Amino acid sequence: MRQKLLFLATAPLLWWQGKRVRATTPRLPEAAGERSGNARQQPSLRLLLLGDSAIAGVGCETQAEALTGQLLQCLSDYQVQWQLVARSSLTCAGVFALLQSTELIAPKFDVVVISVGVNDVTRRTSVQQWRRDLQRMTAYLQQQLGCQQVLYTELPPMHKFPALPQPLRWFVGNQARALNTALEEHCQSHSGAEVLSFDIPYRPEYLAKDGYHPSPAAAQIWAAGAAQAIQQQFIVTTSGEEA
């Protein structure tokens, strides 16, 4: 109740701050580079990268610097067939619609790494709707695409975003925490779904120039965390054959 009253009291200011942030924050492009391929011949691991601007590489100049390229580097012992399906400004529901409309390079994938949620915070998706969207996403990935491992990247601590003024930063931080709690509960109740957690220092070198998206240094930490989670489930020898 206290938080609801605070929101009502500050709603005009939050609306003005949100509008100003959208108008003044630099609009960075998605990283340039290929969005699908085979890291080696005869793939032994089929990898899907899915989501919003962060996983699309906004904040990095090329896909080699972004999560996709750095994760492939971390998985260099694997024979990887991979595809990136991502677009800026999409909510979880929007990412799901994009996935359904995209021609995939493989009928099935072993692993999917997902980045969603920040735009659900800014668009004020309710926790109830967020839960429904997660349910649809996980069901489709597991039942239609055969994903054995569904890695949902946790929402970042938006209360630390330097591009957001107070009290807007406080408000979206609380929203992000609520969606993260629901995400953790979703993954706990769905076998094969996991929350990918990792710590990125909130120093200038880990943020893009918009103060919002991950820099190449942050993408490297993200990639290392994802690779560790994947390797715990899919262990192969350096020749690419199953151990």
Domain that holds residue 70: 47-80+90-233
Do 29 and 91 form a contact (C-beta atoms < 8 A)?
no
- The predicted-structure confidence for 162-198, as pLDDT tens digits, reads as follows 888 999 999 999 999 999 999 999 999 999 999 999 8
Is residue 35 domain-resident? no
- Position 237 confidence tier, pLDDT thresholds 50, 70, 90: very low
Q: Torsions phi, psi of 99, nearest 5?
A: -60, -45
Tens digit of pLDDT for each residue in 92-122? 999 999 999 999 999 999 999 999 999 999 9
pTM score above 0.85: no
Tell me the pLDDT band of 242, cut-offs 50, 70 and 90: very low
Quote the DSSP letter at residue 116.
-
Q: Please report whether residue 185 resides in a domain.
A: yes
pLDDT at 229 over 70: yes
Residue 1 lies in a domain: no
Residue owning tokens 């943020």: 207
pLDDT of residue 234: 83
**Domain annotation covers residue 12:** no
Strands (E), 39-176: 45-51, 80-86, 111-115, 149-153
Residue 123 lies inside a defined structural domain of this protein: yes
- What's the CA gap between 242 and 33, in Å, rounded? 30
**How many angstroms separate the CA atoms of 176 and 123, rounded?**
12
What DSSP character marks residue 214?
B
| Residue-level pLDDT at 240 | 43
User: Pairing mode, if any, of strands 36-38 and 45-51?
Assistant: unpaired
Which CATH number fits the domain that encloses residue 125?
3.40.50.1110
| Each residue's pLDDT tens digit, 44-61 | 899 999 999 999 999 999
From 138-142, 203-207, 222-226, the region with the lowest mean pLDDT: 203-207
- Mode of pairing for the β-strands spanning 45-51 and 193-196: unpaired
Decide if 242 is inside a domain. no
Higher pLDDT, residue 73 or 36: 73
Cis peptide before 156 (omega within 30 of 0): no
Q: What are the DSSP E strand ranges found in the chain?
A: 36-38, 45-51, 80-86, 111-115, 149-153, 193-196
Q: Does the structure show a pLDDT above 70 at 18?
A: no
% pLDDT > 90, the chain: 70
Number of folded domains that form the chain = 1
Q: In what order do the strands lie in the sheet with 80-86?
A: 36-38, 80-86, 45-51, 111-115, 149-153, 193-196
Cβ distance 204 to 40 under 8 Å?
no
Residue 184, both tokens: 């953790």
